[in-house]
Amino acid sequence: MNTFNILLNGNLQAGDYIGFTFFTGYMSMLAASVFFFVERGQVSDKWKTSLTISGLITFIAAVHYFYMRGIWLETGTSPTQFRYIDWTLTVPLMCVEYFLILKPAGAKGGMLVRLLAGSILMLVAGYIGEAVSVESNVMWGIISTIGWAVIIYEIYMGEASKLVASSNNAAVTEGYKVMRWFTLVGWAIYPIGYCMLPGNILHGLVEGADFTKSSPVDLAYNIADAINKIGFGLVVYTIAKNATAADKAKLA
């Protein structure tokens, strides 16, 4: 179905599955923000900042999804610039979450710098490959993957991994394992979507798509964003709640 047959006066129409995911992404992440901010009062002081960051991640994403939904409904084109602005703010904040939950175990600033550097490389290279130099998107995709690999190395084999291995906080240890699964498996959805770009290795799967009007890349990105940002925040919330309960039990 032609994109412009399902866009009518800027309103969401039946059959516009990409528009539907923009809308549900906006609503679900806004609801998650309210939840994280409200629940912030239910955890001990040392975890309040972590929940604040979780709420900011989903709130920033919700605001961007509101604008991206509008662009999609009005023009039928992919809001690539808004998407990368969102990621530039939220992905580094997700890296900050790793630092915050491991700070009581002795996390140093160098760990945070490495995580942030990896995220910036991943995002800048990805944007160049998707919006600036599309004809070279394979090369930029490889560079972007190197940034992601820096993060994966840090949380599986680097300082972050060593700190959690030495931690005696069961809530942090268990939650950390789930968080890094989101980063390893959940974030893998993004390169799959990226590889569907014209000239990339999975473009043949969607060869009939008109990427100037309707992109399956947006469908993959929208689903991944909702799962990863909300899920990541819920893991942080679980760590905070369990750690708070454990601290109260020790004082009882």
Is residue 134 within 8 A of residue 203, CB to CB? The reply is: no
Number of H helices, E strands in the chain: 9, 2
Does 100 reside within a domain? yes
In this predicted model, what pLDDT tens digit does every residue of 160-215 receive, in sequence order?
999 998 888 888 999 999 999 989 988 887 877 777 777 777 666 655 444 444 56
Give the count of beta carbons closer than 10 Å to the beta carbon of residue 124.
Answer: 17
In this predicted model, what pLDDT tens digit does every residue of 96-126 receive, in sequence order?
999 999 988 888 899 999 999 999 999 999 9
Does 118 reside within a domain? yes
Does 251 reside within a domain? no
Q: CATH number, domain at 25?
A: 1.20.1070.10
Does 248 reside within a domain? no
The number of distinct structural domains making up the chain is: 1
Q: What is the C-alpha separation between 64 and 128, in angstroms, rounded?
A: 20
The domain of 90 spans: 3-243
Contacts with 43 (C-beta within 8 Å, 6 or more apart), sequence order: 51, 240, 241, 243, 244
Check residue 4 and give its pLDDT. Answer: 43
Does 101 reside within a domain? yes
Q: What is the C-alpha separation between 68 and 85, in angstroms, rounded?
A: 11
Q: How many residues does the chain have?
A: 252
The β-bridge partners of 7 are: 12
pLDDT at residue 2 is higher than 60: no
Does 90 reside within a domain? yes
Does 191 reside within a domain? yes
Which pairs count as long-range contacts for 90-94, CB under 8 Å and 24+ apart, including other chains? 90/57, 90/60, 90/61, 90/229, 91/119, 91/122, 91/123, 92/116, 92/119, 92/120, 93/53, 93/56, 93/57, 93/60, 94/57, 94/119, 94/183, 94/229, 94/232
Does 249 reside within a domain? no
Residue 52's pLDDT band, with cuts at 50, 70 and 90, is very high
Angle at 232 between CA 227 and CA 234, to 5 degrees: 100
Q: What is the C-alpha separation between 43 and 45, in angstroms, rounded?
A: 7
**pTM, full prediction:** 0.87
